[in-house]
Structure 1
Amino acid sequence: MARIVIVGAGISGLAAALEAAASSHEVVVLEGSPQIGGKLRLATIAGHQVDVGAESMLARRPEALKLLADLDVAAVHPAPVSASIWTRGRLRSMPRGTMLGVPADADSLRALLTDDELDRVRAEQLVRPDGDLSVGELVEAALGPAVVDRLVEPLLGGVYAGHARRLSAAAAAPALLTAARHGRALTEAARAASARPVTAEPPTPVFAGLRGGIGSLPKHLVRLLLDRGVTVRTGATVRDVAHVGSRWRITVGETRSPEFLDADGVVLATPARATSRLLDGVAPDASHTLGQIEYASMAIVTYAFATDESDVFAGSSGFLVPPVDGRRIKASTFSSSKWPWLTEAAPEVRFVRVSIGRHGEEADLQRSDAELAAAGMADLRAALGSDVPRPVAAHVQRWGGALPQYAVGHLDRIAAVRAALRPLPGLEVAGAAYEGVGIPACIGTGRKAAGAVLTHLGGR
């Protein structure tokens, strides 16, 4: 029986462990922090557990829903309530039929753009890029800067906590880039994406969550892993990975009293910079490339409001905020309105959260929790009016270095990392830094990495 070591117990590492556990090999998960789950986390606020990290996942990718089926856990979906964009001094309805902010019909943006800006959208220019470029450069060249500033920026800010004019189109908007390379208008691509055949079946919801919160997913996973004989250790910091003969030697713990663990296969499911440090001695080229990936920090402030004072949040799932408007928050989610299970679980309060922080704007987070909570409340009142009540509780969750930034050329860099690791069979990498920051993409990288290790070990 071989031993497979998974480094990192975020969703990528746990998914890798589940894949590896399907074999007869020993599987060990090592997590340096005191708790599992990575960016999936629950906290108790006003007596109830709610998400203070990721709170939804794409339902139109198969990886997460397949994992839920393996766990025998049912997905839940958001309520059919509208969302808005807070721009130019007021909340405006989110336009329908857009593809990452690119409209299928210019007139759908009438509430957001001026007449001159709409005329620029109607006069779309064809863009034929040879290689990669930023999402903002692509959309601005085709439709003008206003679409980037008022739509693309807030949408990408919600996913990456980044900036549209720095994020790779090949990585973050592949469908738009492919359309442009084939000489198609971006609005044509958006129309094609929004056109669905008429069927008797209702459309698949875009997003999914879990009753009890997405933060409960790691606990479901670990319960199954333990049932399958997997060892899961927290507080086990991995300091080195070395190639010793045909096996791997993992150094765990403090330098003055290290523990050595030998393995036949290893999956590094850690953030890019941590993976870079661990690869330094065995794959220096891959280590150097991963070390160049930058990360964004952010904070999520969650408020609880008394239900009988919370009418101002009814009928909406929240709003996005374009950075061009100069606000402190970049989005707000009316969690109790968005997730019916949360209203059922906590009928006496309504939960609302705001997110603060984008890539390169860490100075905005160098304030106390009380100051961040006050800043979030000030923007909520500016957006919704003075009817926003005083919260009965507030919680600040800081996520330092949480989201990798897919800079222009990202896919080429990841291909180079994988090429550099190819001469080292049995060593794989997984996580948000590679092929997508969303939960389904992370699950996919974890299972793929573990599958490659099993193939190397002949465990299929």
Structure 2
Amino acid sequence: MSATGTHTGHAVVIGAGIAGLAAAHRLLERGLRVTVLEASGRVGGKLLPGEIAGVRVDLGAESMLARRPEAVALAREVGLAEQLRPPATATASIWTRGALRPMPKGHVMGVPGTAGALAGVLSDEGLARIERDAALPRTEVGDDVAVGEYVAERLGREVVDRLVDPLLGGVYAGDAYRISMRSAVPQLFQAARTHDSLTAAVRDIQARAAAGRQTGPVFMGIEGGVGRLPLAVAEAVRARGGEILTGTPVTELRRAGADPDVSDGAPDGVATGAHEDAGAPRPDAAWRVVAGHRVLYADAVVLAVPAHTAAGLLRAEAPAAAAELATVEYASMALITLAYRRSDLALPEGSGFLVPPVDGRTVKASTFASQKWGWIADEDPDVVVLRTSVGRHGETEIFQREDAELVEVSRHDLREATGLAAVPLQTRVTRWTDGLPQYPVGHHARVARIREHVAKLPGLAVCGAQYDGVGIPACIASAYAAVDQLGGDLSGVRELTANPVQSLHGGAGE
């Protein structure tokens, strides 16, 4: 890869989640020969299609933000244009203070422009506290601030505990009082820097959004599940001549001119016993990649793996970047999918509900999948599919329970929230250990330092959920920026640094 943007030679992508696959797809468009190496036995990462009671469902992420172009555009490029589907309903609820209450409108990630926007969710005292915002002195946000900390200071803790925290928790499975406002809610952060009043800042955001006249659905799904997206991208990569190797963990990443050092963490014998890639060794290659007993030589490498894996692979050549990546924390969660006979239940209207942690429930959210996605209902009108999620950052006890216990916890909370007492036809528990990277205060600065260290190594770039956003469009945007960086174009990285990708639309109410 030359500094002028001319793309030649062989690129290795490490990781076959949606970020790695998007990077491979873009690299092939630029004319490179591409090899994708994936440690697990499948592609797709946190996107996982499945089935329950004969109905296709997602067992991982189920929707993608449509107000960003990357995910929808990639789906169209790989032949899924006719399968794109908006949600059948955009209404949702919040289960708080003992009842299912309509999700408020007119807020940005739970932060209202007026107290009245949260009527019904907050107590009278909580609503009165919001009214004090206009009279409070300015609160400086500095270089970054925790969302919960700043909003609580301006509007009171009840706004955070009852609405901001469950909305953010649905994206990051984290704690609003630790999550970076600059990285997670960038439009709110920028507005807070220029307004004395937080509610005035929200009203300004809403006015500019209205003036922009954005049309179309906020979110988009895919018939059969968004888990089909990585499969279609992988198929497109292979159709263009790309090679995807699953069950192939990378054990060493070194500059091609560096002497292999078993002490750096490579298994005994790798340096001398691995089989060279076809046509290798290549004295002109930039990188040497060891994957099991295979050695590949590459002109460029895209590292699209979780932070702890990236830290291990970068330790020899970029120890400062590795040290930064090793500090990234993750939250684990589990999705419980339940299928019922339609004749056995009557659900409230809408797409589901969120649960504030302050209410002390185990389930943090539930999606009425058959009501949210019309294609699920159409596949078998006699079956109704629901999903619940459990697990937040720092929680360990709930994740240690057996699958049957997680199902019973879900059924208990569903019964308390909706009156659902029926016995499910079938259940599935999907565990995502260390599934969601956390974005604490200062996240943007940490990412900038990582990229600065990596940039010192020509032919190497990083991408994925731990950098620029956890949503599908964010991961794809991160992948495209990494490919552009390899060709000497830093505009994508600069744009992501200046304007992080929100992973949830602030006013969607979902």
Partner SS for 1:33: coil
Deviations 1:188-246 (A, max 9, x none): 232233345489x8832111110110011111111111110000110000011001235
Q: Which residue of 1 aligns with 2:346?
A: 311
**Cα deviation 1:278-332 (Å, max 9, x = unaligned):** 000000000000000000000000000111223224x210000000000001000
* Greater mean deviation of Cα atoms: 52-61 or 103-112: 103-112
Matched, 1:116 2:128: no
Return structure 1 stretches of 4+ with deviation > 6 angstroms.
none
Q: Measure, in 2, the Cα distance between the counterparts of 1:455 and 1:17.
A: 17
- 1:16 counterpart SS class: helix
Match of residue 169 from structure 2: 157
Alignment RMSD: 1.5
- Paired residues of 1:8 and 1:29 also in contact (CA < 8 A): yes
- In structure 2, the partner of 1:349 is 383
Partner of 1:94: 103
The 8 Å contact of residues 19 and 451 in structure 1, kept in 2 or not, is answered as no
Identity rate of aligned residues, in percent?
Answer: 47
Q: Which amino acid aligns with 1:58?
A: L
Paired with 2:37 and 2:454, the residues of 1 have a C-alpha distance of 21
Deviation at 1:149, TM superposition (A): 0.2
Does residue 15 in structure 1 map to residue 26 in structure 2? no
- Give the C-alpha shift of residue 455 in structure 1: 4.2
The alpha carbon displacement at 1:81 in A equals 4.4
On the 8 A contact 2:195/2:201 being kept in 1, the answer is no
Corresponding residue of 1:279: 314
Residue pairs, 1:69-218, within 5 angstroms: 69-74=76-81, 75-124=84-133, 125=136, 126-195=138-207, 196-197=209-210, 203-218=215-230
Q: Secondary structure at the match of 2:144?
A: coil
1:375 aligns with 2:409: yes
Measure, in 2, the Cα distance between the counterparts of 1:101 and 1:127. Answer: 19
CA distance in 1, matches of 2:30, 2:67: 28
Matches for 1:295-310 after TM superposition, within 5 Å: 295-310=330-345
The answer as to whether partners of 1:83 and 1:318 remain within 8 angstroms in 2 is yes
Cα shift readout 1:340-373 (whole Å, capped 9, x = no counterpart): 1111112220110000000000221100000001
Deviates more, 1:21-30 or 1:396-405: 21-30
CA contact (8 A) 1:34 1:234 kept: yes
2:145 is paired with a residue whose SS is coil
Contact 2:340 2:422 in 1 (8 A): yes
What residue number does 1:364 align with? 398
Q: What's the CA shift for 1:451? A: 2.3
Q: Counterpart of 1:418?
A: 451
Q: 1:185 to 1:214 in 2, by over 3 A?
A: same
The one-letter code of the counterpart of 2:288 is R
Measure the CA separation in 1 of the matches of 2:211 and 2:38.
Answer: 47
Tell me, in whole angstroms, the C-alpha distance in 2 between the residues paired with 1:355 and 1:6.
Answer: 31
Corresponding letter in the other structure for 1:405: Q
* Amino acid aligned to 1:110: A
Cα contact 1:20–1:454 (8 A) shared by 2: no
Distance 1:110 1:155 in 2: 17
| Letter of the 2:175 counterpart | H
Q: Unpaired segments of 5 or more residues in structure 2?
A: 1-7, 258-284, 490-510
Are the counterparts in 1 of residues 9 and 33 from structure 2 also a CA contact under 8 Å? yes
1:47 CA drift (Å): 1.6
- Say yes or no: does 1:53 pair with 2:65: no
Change (3 A) 1:189 1:205: farther
1:409 aligns to what?
Answer: 442
- Matched residue, 1:243: 255
Q: Residue 247 of structure 1 aligns to which amino acid in structure 2?
A: A
Q: Does the Cα contact within 8 Å between 1:128 and 1:182 map onto a contact in 2?
A: no
Superposed CA offset, 1:257-276 (max 9, x none):
x2211111000000011000
CA shift, 1:133, in A, is 1.4
In the alignment, the residues of structure 2 paired with residue 184 and residue 205 of structure 1 have an alpha-carbon distance, to the nearest angstrom, of: 32
SS at structure 2 position matched to 1:214: coil
Among candidates 329, 345, 348, match of residue 294 of structure 1: 329
SS in 2 for 1:277: helix
Q: Give the deviation of 1:107 after TM superposition.
A: 0.9
Cα 1:239–1:202 change in 2 (3 A) is closer
Question: Normalising by the residue count of structure 2, what TM-score does the alignment of the two structures yield?
Answer: 0.86
1:202–1:169 CA distance, 2 compared to 1 (3 A): closer
Q: Secondary structure at the match of 1:362?
A: coil
- For the residue of structure 2 that corresponds to 1:54, the secondary structure is coil
Q: Secondary structure at the match of 1:149?
A: helix
1:135-179 Cα deviation digits (max 9, x unpaired):
101101110100000000000000000000011111111222212
Q: Distance in 2 between matches of 1:81 and 1:170?
A: 27
Q: What residue in structure 1 maps to residue 465 of structure 2?
A: 432
Report SS of the residue matched to 2:358: helix
Corresponding residue of 2:291: 252
Change (3 A) 1:149 1:235: same
**Cα distance in 1 for residues equivalent to 2:117 and 2:148:** 20
SS at match of 2:290: strand
Aligned residue in 1 for 2:361:
327
Contact 2:47–2:230 (Cα < 8 Å) also in 1:
yes
Partners in 2 of 1:438 and 1:81 — Cα distance?
18
Number of the residue aligned with 1:36: 43
Report the Cα distance in structure 1 between the residues aligned to 2:336 and 2:30, rounded to whole angstroms. Answer: 42
- Determine the C-alpha separation between the residues in 2 that align with 1:237 and 1:353: 32
Contact 1:127 1:183 in 2 (8 A): no
C-alpha separation in 2, matches of 1:65 and 1:449: 19
Q: Deviations over 1:378-406 (max 9, x none)?
A: 00001112x43211000000000000000
Paired residue total = 449
Q: Are residues 167 and 35 of structure 1, via their aligned partners in 2, closer, same or farther at CA, if it must alter by over 3 Å?
A: same
- In the alignment, the residues of structure 2 paired with residue 224 and residue 175 of structure 1 have an alpha-carbon distance, to the nearest angstrom, of 35
Letter in 2 for 1:361: E
- 1:81-119 residue CA offsets vs partner (Å, 9 max, x unmatched): 421110111111100011000012211212011111111
Match of 1:64 in 2: 71
Paired with 2:426 and 2:190, the residues of 1 have a C-alpha distance of 47
